[in-house]
Amino acid sequence: MIPRYSSPQVDVLFSEEAKMSRWLEIELAVAEEMAVEGIVPTADAVACRKNAPVVDAAFVGKVEEREAVTNHDVAAFVDTVQAAIGAPAGAWIHYGLTSTDVVDTGLCWALRDSADLIIAVQTDLLRVLVATARSHAGTVMIGRTHGIHAEPTTFGAKVALWALQVDRDRSRMLAARTAVAVCKLSGAVGTYSNIPPVVEQRVAARLGLAAVPATQVIARDRHAEYLWACASAGTTLEMIAVELRHLQRTEVGEVREGFTKGQKGSSAMPHKRNPISAETISGLSRVLRGNLQVGLQDVPLWHERDLSHSSAERIVLPDSTALAYYMTRRMTSLLSNLEIDAERMRVNLDQLHGVVYSQSVLLAMVSAGMLRDDAYRIVQECAARAIDNGTDFRSVLASDPRVTIGAAELDAAFDPARVLRNAGLGIAALDAVSL
């Protein structure tokens, strides 16, 4: 990931040092469990652990030098580890294993930890969303459908639905974590021809992974599920971002991204305050969805394996992790510093002179005995006159002899408390969200 969108927490997981540290631990654990089975001499397994190299930048450099000869990264790694441990113990490193035993198990280990990082920041975002929803449960605003004023809602109700969707994304990430937290140590085509299944099971337990049947590679639908969880989370963040961008438009002005001291909104126009965080999130969500397509195309491999998935995964898995993590944190910051203009929301609610209560009037007239279509046409005409003439919709209704309901019924129809009496159900549902 380019530095602009990277995070130290993710970078360290996918660094060469971290990758090879995982590989080394897998190799050592296999040697030790093979010793339990009497395949590897116990003294040699102990020597492997005792003399194992420190995986640092210097070690990585040695592996890269060796890879220039072997043209095979795992073979270069094994050669370098064996040389560091020395004979005869070093010869037992990689005994009975194939490269993808180590690579796939190590990658799944990294993806499990990546999922944990993302789940943690999703929980942080949920805390902000839930607090915002509850604090604005009574902040009345206009709801819009097709971009047009519809009926009143509350900002809290809107945010509560965002929170519930983020919670579903967190559940998807938890499921993806389970899918990728697996181990495969079954050899060249997955038949355990040179390594007992019990070794795989015990190493998996040591690493906190689940041993699974596989060919030479772990099935890539698991990795695709992880990418789907990242893409889904990113799409939810974009959904929120798009709404915030609309609400920040000059003509709407109901929310604004926080603006720090010294910040500039435009290099040319000093007055500008642009929704840059929301726009960045919208753009990056497209990358996550594109990466998901790569992950899905990595699922069908030739026979027991081929290498077509590997090069793509080296890019899309770390990048999707980095983006999902970065975007979630940035949305948390955006919402934590969001300026919410409740007064502007109220002004916008009344912008069309009360026609947003047209359905309430329609239903009151139907309840009073008028045919629905007749009532609809009358209310529609009155609403159009109120908008065209800039006059109060209620007054237009009251002066129209075709409107058969009285003042009390009109008062009830125009009462926002009645319209919003059940708007808090989404907020109440937040009680079930684990924080």
Residues in contact with 230: Cβ distance below 8 Å, sequence separation at least 6, in sequence order: 118, 173, 288, 291, 292, 320, 321, 323, 324
Q: In which region does residue 249 sit, left (phi positive, over 0), alpha (psi from -120 to 50) or beta (all else)?
A: beta
Residues in contact with 427: Cβ distance below 8 Å, sequence separation at least 6, in sequence order: 133, 134, 137, 156, 157, 160
Residue 272: exposure state from Cβ atoms within 10 A (0-12, 13-18, ≥19): exposed
Residues in contact with 167: Cβ distance below 8 Å, sequence separation at least 6, in sequence order: 126, 433
6 is catalytic: no
Query: What phi and psi values does residue 142 have, to the nearest 5 degrees?
Result: -85, 135
Token pair, residue 66, equals: 């060796």
Closest to 233 in 3D by CA, of 279, 281, 294, 182: 281
Catalytic residue (choose from 146, 267, 311, 434): 146
Residue type, 91: A
- How far apart, in whole angstroms, are the C-alpha atoms of residue 286 and residue 283? 6
Residues in contact with 157: Cβ distance below 8 Å, sequence separation at least 6, in sequence order: 133, 137, 423, 424, 426, 427
Catalytic residue (choose from 193, 266, 308, 399): 266
Could you give the angle at the alpha carbon of 134 between the alpha carbons of 133 and 138, nearest 5°?
A: 90
- How far apart, in whole angstroms, are the C-alpha atoms of residue 396 and residue 401? 10
Three-state DSSP string of 210-258? EECCCCCCCCCHHHHHHHHHHHHHHHHHHHHHHHHHHHHCCCCCCEECC
Cβ(427)–Cβ(134) under 8 Å? yes
* Structural element, H or E, at residue 55: none
146 is catalytic: yes
Cβ(35)–Cβ(42) under 8 Å? yes
Active-site residues: which are they? 146, 266
